[in-house]
C-alpha cells in the first residue's frame, strides 16, 4: 500500500520533516516515490513552516494512497491558510 507520511530530517532538537509518498512497508527515511512537501514545526522569522504540493497529494490519493493522520491534518491546515490568504 502506498502512504503519504512524514519523514524526519534535521539535527538533534532541530526537527524538519519532508512529506513523502512511499510504500508503507518501507522503513521511515528509506526510499520514497516522490517528495510532495515540507514541514518545519519550529520555523523562525521568515522561514516557511509548511509547504505542500496539494495537486500532487490529491493525485496520489485518487490513485489509492492513504495519508497518515498527521499529514491529513497538515493538508487541512494548509488548505485553510490558502483560502484565508
Say what the pTM is: 0.88
Q: What count of residues does the chain have?
A: 85
Ranges of the chain whose pLDDT falls below 50: none
CA distance linking residue 72 with residue 53, whole number of Å: 13
In this predicted model, what pLDDT tens digit does every residue of 47-71 receive, in sequence order?
Answer: 889 999 999 999 999 999 999 999 9
Looking at domain 2-84, which CATH architecture does it have?
2-Layer Sandwich (3.30)
Provide the CA 65 distance to its chain's centre, in angstroms: 13
Query: By the 8 A CB rule, do 43 and 27 touch?
Result: no
Amino acid at each position: 500500500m502506498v502512504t503519504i507520511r512524514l519523514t524526519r530530517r534535521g539535527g538533534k532538537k532541530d526537527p524538519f520533516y519532508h512529506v513523502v509518498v512511499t510504500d508503507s512497508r518501507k522503513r521511515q527515511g528509506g526510499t520514497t516515490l516522490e517528495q510532495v512537501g515540507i514541514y518545519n514545526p519550529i520555523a523562525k522569522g521568515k522561514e516557511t513552516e509548511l509547504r505542500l504540493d496539494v495537486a500532487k497529494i490529491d493525485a496520489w490519493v485518487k490513485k489509492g494512497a492513504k495519508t497518515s493522520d498527521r499529514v491529513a491534518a497538515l493538508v487541512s491546515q494548509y488548505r485553510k491558510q490558502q483560502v484565508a490568504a
